[in-house]
C-alpha cells in the first residue's frame, strides 16, 4: 500500500482519506526530505482546513508570490521581508472555499525572475531527481515539492514558462491557463500582460481538478474573462482520434538535448498510433520570441516593482537621511542581482529615445508571433513541442551567463506572448535519469482539448508513475 | 507692457464627485480619519489590480461633450512612472497619447468680443495621497489616493490674467451644471496650474514658459498671473533671461518664488497600462449622452434673456452658477414680477450670502418664500423697506417671510383714513417744517414723511403718505 | 556588439532608484550590452504595418465596476506592515523640496 503522501488528490478523495491522516503523512514526508529538497519557504504547521469542499483536507502548496492573508508573502526577496498582506488572492479564496489545506509557501526565483530557482534570497531549491541540479524556475519550489511528494498539489505562476519548465524538469504536470482564465488579483505582479496562475500536480486528472477550482471570472481583475468554466473532468477521456497535431519545425532546432528530442518525437508517435493526425507546421517568428519577451517583461516588471520602496511595507533602510536616499538604499539592499538587472533593462527600454525602438517594437513583434499561432490553429487543434531544450542543469552552471539562462525559456515564452493555454506533461527520462517534459499548446480558452490530449498520452504511457529516489 | 503680449495656458484638475474612487470601491467622503478609506488597490499593495469606476467614466464623457470635445475612438490608460511617497505604486494611472477627449472649446468675452479658448485635451487619472511635512519627517495619508480626477488642458490661447479668470469662471459654471463635481478650490476638488510666457507683440513663436502652481482660488490665479507677466516683462526689459521653471505662488506675500528642486526634468516612461483594457464609447451612445446633457450656462442665459426679457448682463450673472439659476427659475415661476426676482436675488440675497460666506443652497429662504415676499410688496401688503428686513430675518432664521410679517405685525398700512389721521397729527405738531415746505424747502417734505413713518413704525404705505401729505400741505383736506 | 554608455546606465539606475558601485556598474554595463545586442535581432523584422499588442485578449473592452462602496480595510490593517507610523499616518524621512 502506497504511502498517502505519494498519492494524487483524486486517489485520496476516492479513498475517502481523512484530513488528519493526509496531513500527518505529508508532514512526515516533509520532515524526511525537505532538508535536502528545500522547496518550502514556510511550512504551515497549524491544523488543516476546516469545512468540507471538493479538496477537503488536500494539501495545496502556494507559490510565495501569491498573497495569503496574514501570512508572510515575500516573492523570495529580501525587500518584502516580513510583509503580511491583509487580504487573500482570489485563487486562495477559492482554494479555501474548496476546503484545501494550505500547507505552506514555496520557494521561487526572486519576483519570478529566473528559470532555475537560484535567485531566491533563501537559496536554491534542489531538483529531487538530482539534488545537485536545479528544479527549474521560477516555480521551482512548487514543482520540486510535488515531485518529492512533499505536497499533493501546488499552484505556481507562469510568465515565460515558470510553471511548465520546472514541471518538465521535475517530472510533474504543470499548466499555464489562457491569459484571463484565472484571476491575477493577489498575484504579486511580474509582467502584467503575461502572468497567469496555474496548477502543478502529479497527473493530468489532478491538474483538471485544480484548474476547475481556481479558474473563473473575477470582478477584481479587469483582465479576467467572463466566460463560464467548463467541467474539466469531462476532458479526461482517452480519445485523440482525428485530433490534428501541429509540430513546428522551429522548436526542433540544433542545440536541444538529443534525449529530449527523441523523447518528444516518441511521444508524438504515441499520439499518432492512437489516431491523431500529425502535421508539420511552421511558426516563423519563434526565433524572435525570447528577444521580444526580454523587452516586454522587464519593462512591465520595472514599473510593477517600483512600489517596493520601504514606505508602506517590507525592507526600509532606517539610516536614510531623506526620502530619495531611503528609496535608493532600501531598493539596492533589498533586490538581488537578477532583479536589478531586469529593472535596469526594463527602465532602459521604456525611457525617452528608446521606447519606440524597444518596447513599441517588441509589442509589434508580439503581434506577429500571435498571428503565427492564429494561422497555425486554422489547421491544427493542438501544437506539440518540447517544454525545455535541455533537462535540469547543474546548480550554478548558468548563473554567470544571463543570456544562456534566458534561452532556457525559448519554447515556453511564445505561449505567454500569445496568451495561449499550455501544459507540460512528463514524457520520459534522459540517459542520465532526468525528466523530460512534453508541451501541448492550444487555442485560447481551449484547455479542454489540451487536457484530453494530455490525459490520453499520459494514460497510454507510464511516465507519470515515475518518482525520484529520495 | 505694450511691447509684449502674454500667452497663458491653463491646466485644471477636477475631482469627480462619484461615491467611490477611480479604481476601487473605497468611499470618497471628505474629511475621514487618515488612512481609513483605503484598500489594497488604492494603497498599491502588491498583487492589487485596478477596475475602472463606470460612473467616473460617464462623468468624464459628459464633461468632454459639454466642452465640445471629440471623443477618442479607442480610449486607453497609461502608466506615468515617478517616485514620490504620496504615490503608492510609484506610478500614476493616467492617460498619455490616447486621452478620453480632445479639440474642445470655451467661449469667453474679451474686450467686448467673443473669444474662443481651445481645449486641447481632457483625460482621466487617479489622484495621489496627501503628504504632510514636519521638521525631521513627513507623513502620508492615502485617503485621497485613487480619487478620480479629470485633467482639462487648454491651448495657450489666453492672453491675460483677466481672460484666465473668466475662463475658469465659465469652466466652473459648466462643470457645476453637469453636477459632476462641487468644484471647490478650498476643498481641493478643483485645482489649477498655469503656464505663462511672454513674447514681442505680434510674434507667433512661444517664449520660454514658466509653470505657476499653488494658486488656491480663481482670484489668486488672476493675481499670480498678473504678477508673473509683470515679472517676466521686467526681466526681459533688464536683459535677464527667463528660465523655464516652476514657481509657487505665495498668496500672503503676493509674489511667486522659484521651486529649487534638485531633480532635472522627470522622465515618466509612459507605457500602456496592462492591467486595464481599452474603452470605447460608440457613436450612438455619444449622441444619446449629448442629447441628455442638461441645458448649459450659455444656452440658459440666452433663454433667460428671451423668456424673462432679462438683460444679457443680468442673465449672465444669474446663470453663472447652477444653484443660482435654478433658484431664480423656481422663484420666477412663482412670482410674476421677474425684474423684482432678479434684482432681489442679485442684490439683497447675494449680498447677504457673501457676508455669511455661504451659497444660495444655504440661503434658508426657499424660492417660494422669496416669491411670497415679492408678491406682498407688489400687493402693497408690506413696504419695500420692511421687506428688506424681513428677508434678512428669514435668511437668519429659516422662517417663511409670510409668517414673519404676521408674527411681527409688519403688514403695511394702506388705509387712507388711518394714514390721514397720522398725517394731520404730524402736520399739526411740526409747524416749522410745514412753513419751510411752503417756503419752497423740499427737504421739509422728506422730514415730514419720515415723521409719519416713524409714528406708524414704518408700516404706512409711503406712496399714500406722500400723496396725502402733499394734498394737506397744498391746502385743504 | 553593442556597447552601452556607463552614463546611460547610471541615469537608468537613478530613474529606478538603485545605486551601483563601480564594480556593479561595469558588470551591469557589459551584461546589458550583451542582452541588448541579442535583442537587436528584432530589427531584422519589418513591423511598419503591424499594430502593437498591449493586451493578449484583444477583444476585451469596457470592463467597469459600479460606483457602489465596498468595505475598506481598517487603518490598522493598512498600517500593519508600515516600517514607521505616527498617529494613523505612514511616516517617512523628510521629503526635500515639495512637488
Burial class (CB in 10 A: 0-12, 13-18, 19+), A31: exposed
- Per-residue pLDDT reduced to its tens digit, B113-144: 899 999 999 999 999 999 999 989 999 999 99
Q: Hey, of C89, C91, C97, which one would you mutate to test binding to chain B, going by the most B CBs within 10 A of its CB? A: C89
Interface mutation vs chain C, best among B41, B271, B277, most C CBs within 10 Å: B277
- Mutation for B interface: A81, A183, A222, most B CBs within 10 A: A222
Please tell me the predicted confidence (pLDDT) of residue A245: 98
Helix (H, G, I), strand (E, B) or coil at A255: coil
Write out the residue range of the structural domain in which residue B214 sits: 4-284
The pLDDT tens digits for A361-378 are: 999 999 999 999 999 999
Q: What is the pLDDT of residues B436-474, one digit of tens each?
A: 888 888 888 889 888 988 888 888 888 888 898 888 888
Q: Which chains have 3+ CB pairs within 8 A of B?
A: A, C
Residues of chain B with Cβ-Cβ distance to A80 below 8 Å are 46
Domain around C37 = 6-43
Which residues of chain B are under the pLDDT cut of 70? 1, 260-265, 476-477
CA atoms of B466 and B445, how far apart (whole Å): 8
In tens, the pLDDT along A411-447 reads 999 999 999 999 999 999 999 999 999 999 999 999 9
Share of chain A above pLDDT 90, in %: 93
Select the residue from B49, B79, B89, B93 to test the A interface by mutation, using most A Cβ atoms within 10 A: B49
Same domain, B403 and B420: no
Contact A187 B48 (CB under 8 A): no
* B134 interaction partners in chain A (CB closer than 8 Å): none
**Given A186, A222, A303, which is nearest B91 (Cβ)?**
A303
Domain identity same for B62 and B87: yes
Same domain, B175 and B314: no
CATH of the domain at B428: 1.10.10.410
pLDDT at A121 over 90: yes
In the beta sheet, which residues pair with residue B104? B119
Cell 520546472, residue located: A166
pLDDT tops 50 at residue A152: yes
DSSP letter, residue B335: -
Record: contact B43-A221, CB cut-off 8 A:
no
Sheet holding B78-81, edge to edge: B91-94, B78-81, B271-272
Sheet harboring B246-250: ordered strands across?
B70-71, B101-110, B113-126, B148-154, B4-15, B190-200, B210-215, B246-250, B255-258
Specify whether B327 is located in the same domain as B275.
no
In a domain, C78, yes or no: no
**Spatial separation of the C-alpha atoms in residues A135 and A169, rounded to whole Å:** 6
A319 close to C (CB below 8 A): no
Contact C98 B25 (CB under 8 A): no
Whole-number Cα distances in Å, B216 to A175, A431, B17, B190, B248 = 56, 76, 19, 9, 11
Domains defined along chain A, listed by start? 4-246+264-281+371-465 (3.90.1300.10), 286-368 (no CATH)
Nearest to B51 among C15, C63, C71 (CB): C63
Rounded-to-integer distance, Cα B301 and Cα B237, Å = 44
Residue A366 and residue C53: Cβ atoms within 8 Å? yes
The single residue listed with the C-alpha cell 464609447 is: B281
Closest chain B residue to C97, measured at CA = B261
What SS3 class is residue A8?
Answer: coil
Closest residue on chain A to B83 (Cα): A306
Q: Assess contact for A116 and A392: CB atoms under 8 A.
A: no
Query: pLDDT digits over A315-329, tens only?
Result: 999 999 999 999 999
The pLDDT, as a whole number, for residue A352 is 87
Instruction: Please name the helix (run of DSSP H) or strand (run of DSSP E) that holds residue A422, with its range, or none.
Output: strand A422-429
Q: Does B15 touch chain C (CB under 8 A)?
A: no
Q: E strands, A215-364, where?
A: 244-248, 277-281
Q: How far apart are CA B424 and CA B422, in angstroms?
A: 5
B47 in the same domain as B171: yes
What Å distances lie between residue A263 and A388, A436, B284, CA to CA? 12, 7, 58
**pLDDT for res B171:** 96
Do residues A443 and A189 touch, judged by C-beta distance below 8 A?
no
B289 lies in a domain? no
Q: In whole angstroms, give the CA distance from residue A37 to residue A141.
A: 9
Task: Please determine, for residue C99, whether its predicted confidence score (pLDDT) is greater than 60.
Answer: no
Indicate if B315 and B449 belong to the same structural domain: no
Known catalytic residues of A? 63, 138, 162
> Which among B407, B430, B464 is the end of a domain?
B407
pLDDT tens-digit map of A22-38: 999 999 999 999 999 99
What is the Cα A254 distance to its own chain's centre? 26
Which of C65, C89, C93 is facing B51, going by the closest CB pair? C65
Quick check: is C48 in a domain? no
- Is C16 domain-assigned? yes
Cell numbers 512548487 label which residue? A142
| B69 shares a domain with B218 | yes
List, in order, residues 6 or more apart from B437 with CB less than 8 Å away: B444, B445, B448, B473
Unique residue bearing C-alpha cell 470618497? B28
Residues of B in contact with C88 (CB under 8 A): 33-36, 141
Q: Report the C-alpha gap between A339 and A156 in whole angstroms.
A: 19
Question: How many domains, chain C?
Answer: 1
Q: What does the alpha-carbon distance between residue A139 and residue A155 come to, in Å, rounded to a whole number? A: 8
Q: Out of B233, B265, B284, pick the residue that ends a domain.
A: B284
Residues B153 and B11: beta-carbon distance below 8 Å: yes
C-alpha span between C85 and B139 (Å, rounded): 8
Q: What is the complex's ipTM, to 2 decimals?
A: 0.96
Query: Residue B413 has what pLDDT?
Result: 80
Say if residue A269's pLDDT is above 80.
yes
- Over the range A427-459, which residues count as b (16 or more CB within 10 Å of their CB) and which as e? bbbbeeebbbbbbbbbbbbbbbbbbbbbbbbbe
Q: Which of C19, C51, C82 sits opposite A312 (nearest CB)?
A: C82
Q: How far is A391 from chain C (nearest CA, A)?
A: 24
Q: What residue has cell string 418664500?
A: B369
B366 and B261 within one domain? no
8 Å CB contact of B89 and A66: no
**Domain total for chain B?**
3
Counted residue by residue, chain A has a size of 470
- If asked whether residues B251 and B372 sit together in one domain, one would say no
CA distance B36 to chain C (A): 5
**Count of CB contacts below 8 A, B vs C?**
127
pLDDT in tens, C50-59: 999 988 877 8
Same domain, residue pair B256 and B339: no
User: CB of A73 within 8 Å of any CB in chain B?
Assistant: yes
* Burial class for A17, CB neighbours closer than 10 Å (0-12, 13-18, 19+): middle
Query: SS3 string of A82-111?
Result: CCCCCCCCHHHHHHHHCCCEEEEEECCCHH
Same domain, B342 and B383: yes
Mean pLDDT score of chain A? 96
Which is nearest to A307 in space by CA: B363, B215, B85, B94? B85
Enter the DSSP assignment of A171: T
Q: Under DSSP, is residue A382 helix (H, G, I), strand (E, B) or coil?
A: strand
Q: What is the pLDDT of residue A42?
A: 96
Residue that finishes a domain, picked among B366, B390, B407: B407
Residue A313 DSSP class:
S
In angstroms, the CA A99 to CA B245 distance is 60
Predicted pLDDT at B187: 86
Are residues B278 and B195 part of one domain? yes
Q: Is the predicted pLDDT of residue C74 greater than 90, yes or no? A: yes
Chain B residues inside the 8 Å CB shell of C70 = 20, 24-26, 39
Shortest Cα distance, chain B CAs vs residue C76, angstroms: 8
A171: Cβ–Cβ under 8 A, 6 or more apart, which residues?
A129, A147, A426, A429, A435, A437, A463, A466, A467, A468
A356 and chain C in contact, CB less than 8 A: no
Determine whether the interchain pair A345/C45 forms a contact, defined as Cβ–Cβ distance below 8 Å.
no
Amino acid at each position: 500500500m502506497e504511502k498517502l503522501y505519494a498519492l494524487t488528490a483524486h486517489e485520496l478523495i476516492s479513498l475517502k482519506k481523512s484530513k488528519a491522516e493526509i496531513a500527518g503523512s505529508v508532514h512526515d514526508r516533509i520532515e524526511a526530505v525537505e532538508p535536502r529538497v528545500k522547496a518550502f519557504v514556510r511550512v504551515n504547521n497549524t491544523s488543516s482546513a476546516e469545512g468540507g469542499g471538493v479538496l477537503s483536507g488536500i494539501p495545496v502548496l502556494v507559490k510565495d508570490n501569491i498573497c495569503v492573508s496574514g501570512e508572510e508573502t515575500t516573492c523570495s526577496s529580501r525587500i518584502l521581508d516580513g510583509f503580511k498582506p491583509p487580504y487573500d488572492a482570489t485563487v486562495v479564496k477559492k482554494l479555501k472555499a474548496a476546503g484545501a489545506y494550505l500547507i505552506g509557501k514555496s520557494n521561487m526565483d526572486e519576483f519570478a525572475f529566473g528559470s532555475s530557482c537560484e535567485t531566491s534570497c533563501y537559496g536554491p531549491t534542489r531538483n529531487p531527481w538530482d539534488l545537485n541540479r536545479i528544479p527549474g524556475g521560477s516555480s521551482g519550489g512548487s514543482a520540486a515539492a510535488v515531485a518529492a511528494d512533499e505536497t499533493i498539489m501546488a499552484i505556481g505562476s507562469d510568465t515565460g514558462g515558470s510553471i511548465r519548465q520546472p514541471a518538465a524538469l521535475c517530472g510533474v504536470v504543470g499548466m499555464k491557463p489562457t491569459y484571463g482564465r484565472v484571476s491575477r488579483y493577489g498575484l504579486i505582479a511580474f509582467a502584467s500582460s503575461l502572468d497567469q496562475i496555474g496548477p502543478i500536480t502529479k497527473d493530468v486528472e489532478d491538474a483538471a481538478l485544480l484548474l476547475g477550482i481556481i479558474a473563473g471570472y473575477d470582478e477584481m481583475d479587469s483582465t479576467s474573462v467572463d466566460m463560464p468554466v467548463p467541467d474539466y473532468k469531462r476532458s479526461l477521456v482517452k480519445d485523440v482520434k482525428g485530433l490534428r497535431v501541429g509540430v513546428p519545425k522551429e522548436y526542433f532546432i540544433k542545440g536541444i538535448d538529443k534525449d529530449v528530442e527523441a523523447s518528444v518525437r516518441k511521444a508524438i508517435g504515441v499520439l499518432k498510433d492512437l489516431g491523431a493526425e500529425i502535421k508539420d507546421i511552421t511558426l516563423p517568428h519563434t526565433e524572435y520570441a525570447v528577444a521580444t519577451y526580454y523587452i516586454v517583461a522587464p519593462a512591465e516588471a520595472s514599473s510593477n516593482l517600483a512600489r517596493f520602496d520601504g514606505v508602506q511595507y517590507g525592507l526600509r533602510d532606517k539610516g536614510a537621511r531623506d526620502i530619495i536616499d531611503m528609496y535608493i538604499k532600501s531598493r539596492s539592499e533589498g533586490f538581488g542581482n537578477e532583479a536589478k538587472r531586469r529593472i535596469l533593462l526594463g527602465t532602459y527600454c521604456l525611457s525617452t529615445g528608446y521606447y519606440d525602438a524597444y518596447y513599441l517594437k517588441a509589442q509589434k513583434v508580439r503581434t506577429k508571433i500571435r498571428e503565427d499561432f492564429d494561422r497555425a490553429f486554422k489547421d491544427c487543434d493542438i501544437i506539440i513541442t518540447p517544454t525545455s531544450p535541455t533537462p535540469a542543469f547543474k546548480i550554478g552552471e548558468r548563473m554567470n551567463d544571463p543570456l544562456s539562462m534566458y534561452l532556457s525559456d525559448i519554447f515556453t515564452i511564445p505561449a505567454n506572448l500569445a496568451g495561449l493555454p499550455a501544459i507540460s506533461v512528463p514524457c520520459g527520462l534522459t540517459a542520465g535519469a532526468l525528466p523530460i517534459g512534453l508541451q501541448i499548446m492550444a487555442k485560447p480558452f481551449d484547455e479542454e482539448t489540451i487536457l484530453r490530449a494530455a490525459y490520453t498520452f499520459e494514460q497510454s504511457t507510464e511516465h507519470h508513475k515515475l518518482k525520484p529516489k529520495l | 507692457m505694450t511691447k509684449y503680449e502674454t500667452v497663458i495656458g491653463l491646466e485644471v484638475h477636477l475631482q469627480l464627485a462619484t461615491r467611490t474612487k477611480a479604481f476601487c470601491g473605497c468611499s470618497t467622503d471628505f474629511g475621514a480619519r487618515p488612512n481609513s478609506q483605503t484598500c489594497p488597490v488604492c494603497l498599491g499593495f502588491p498583487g492589487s489590480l485596478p477596475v475602472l469606476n463606470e460612473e467616473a467614466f460617464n462623468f468624464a464623457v459628459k464633461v468632454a461633450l459639454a466642452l465640445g470635445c471629440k471623443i477618442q475612438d479607442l480610449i486607453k490608460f497609461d502608466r506615468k512612472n515617478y517616485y514620490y511617497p504620496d504615490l503608492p505604486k510609484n506610478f500614476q494611472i493616467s492617460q498619455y497619447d490616447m486621452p478620453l477627449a480632445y479639440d474642445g472649446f470655451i467661449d469667453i468675452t474679451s474686450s467686448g468680443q467673443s473669444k474662443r479658448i481651445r481645449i486641447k485635451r481632457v483625460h482621466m487619472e487617479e489622484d495621489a495621497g496627501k503628504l504632510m511635512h514636519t521638521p525631521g519627517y513627513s507623513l502620508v495619508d492615502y485617503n485621497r489616493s485613487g480619487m478620480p480626477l479629470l485633467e482639462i488642458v487648454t491651448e495657450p490661447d489666453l492672453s491675460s490674467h483677466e481672460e484666465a479668470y473668466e475662463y475658469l469662471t465659465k469652466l466652473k459654471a459648466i462643470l457645476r451644471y453637469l453636477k459632476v463635481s462641487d468644484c471647490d478650490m478650498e476643498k481641493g476638488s478643483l485645482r489649477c496650474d498655469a503656464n505663462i510666457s511672454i513674447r514681442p507683440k505680434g510674434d507667433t513663436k512661444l517664449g520660454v514658459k514658466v509653470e505657476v502652481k499653488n494658486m488656491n482660488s480663481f482670484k489668486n490665479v488672476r493675481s499670480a498671473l498678473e504678477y508673473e507677466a509683470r515679472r517676466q516683462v521686467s526681466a526681459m526689459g533688464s536683459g535677464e533671461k527667463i528660465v523655464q521653471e516652476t514657481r509657487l505662488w505665495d498668496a500672503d506675500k503676493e509674489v511667486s518664488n522659484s521651486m529649487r528642486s534638485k531633480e532635472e526634468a522627470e522622465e515618466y516612461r509612459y507605457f500602456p497600462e496592462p492591467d486595464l483594457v481599452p474603452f470605447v464609447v460608440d457613436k450612438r451612445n455619444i449622441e444619446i449622452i449629448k442629447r441628455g446633457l442638461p441645458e448649459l450656462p450659455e444656452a440658459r442665459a440666452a433663454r433667460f434673456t428671451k423668456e424673462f426679457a432679462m438683460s444679457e448682463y443680468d442673465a449672465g450673472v444669474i446663470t453663472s452658477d447652477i444653484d443660482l439659476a435654478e433658484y431664480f427659475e423656481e422663484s420666477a415661476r412663482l412670482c410674476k414680477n421677474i425684474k423684482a426676482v432678479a434684482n432681489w436675488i442679485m442684490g439683497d440675497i447675494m449680498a447677504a450670502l457673501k457676508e455669511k460666506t455661504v451659497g444660495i443652497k444655504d440661503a434658508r429662504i426657499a424660492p417660494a418664500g422669496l416669491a411670497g415676499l415679492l408678491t406682498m410688496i407688489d400687493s402693497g401688503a408690506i413696504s419695500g423697506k420692511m421687506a428688506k428686513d424681513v428677508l434678512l430675518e428669514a435668511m437668519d432664521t429659516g422662517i417663511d417671510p409670510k409668517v414673519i410679517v404676521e408674527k411681527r405685525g409688519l403688514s403695511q398700512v394702506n388705509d387712507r383714513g388711518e394714514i390721514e389721521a397720522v398725517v394731520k397729527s404730524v402736520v399739526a405738531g411740526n409747524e416749522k417744517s410745514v412753513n419751510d415746505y411752503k417756503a419752497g424747502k423740499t427737504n421739509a417734505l422728506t422730514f415730514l414723511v419720515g415723521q409719519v413713518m416713524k409714528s406708524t413704525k414704518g408700516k404706512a404705505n409711503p406712496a399714500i403718505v406722500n400723496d396725502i401729505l402733499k394734498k394737506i400741505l397744498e391746502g385743504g383736506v | 556588439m553593442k556597447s552601452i554608455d556607463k552614463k546611460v546606465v547610471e541615469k537608468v539606475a537613478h530613474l529606478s532608484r538603485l545605486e551601483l558601485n563601480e564594480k556593479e556598474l561595469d558588470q551591469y554595463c557589459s551584461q546589458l550590452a550583451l542582452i541588448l545586442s541579442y535583442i537587436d535581432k528584432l530589427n531584422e523584422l519589418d513591423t511598419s504595418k503591424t499594430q502593437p499588442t498591449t493586451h493578449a485578449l484583444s477583444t476585451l473592452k469596457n470592463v467597469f465596476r459600479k460606483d457602489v462602496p465596498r468595505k475598506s480595510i481598517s487603518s490598522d490593517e493598512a498600517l500593519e506592515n508600515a516600517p514607521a507610523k505616527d498617529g494613523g499616518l505612514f511616516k517617512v524621512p523628510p521629503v526635500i523640496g515639495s512637488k
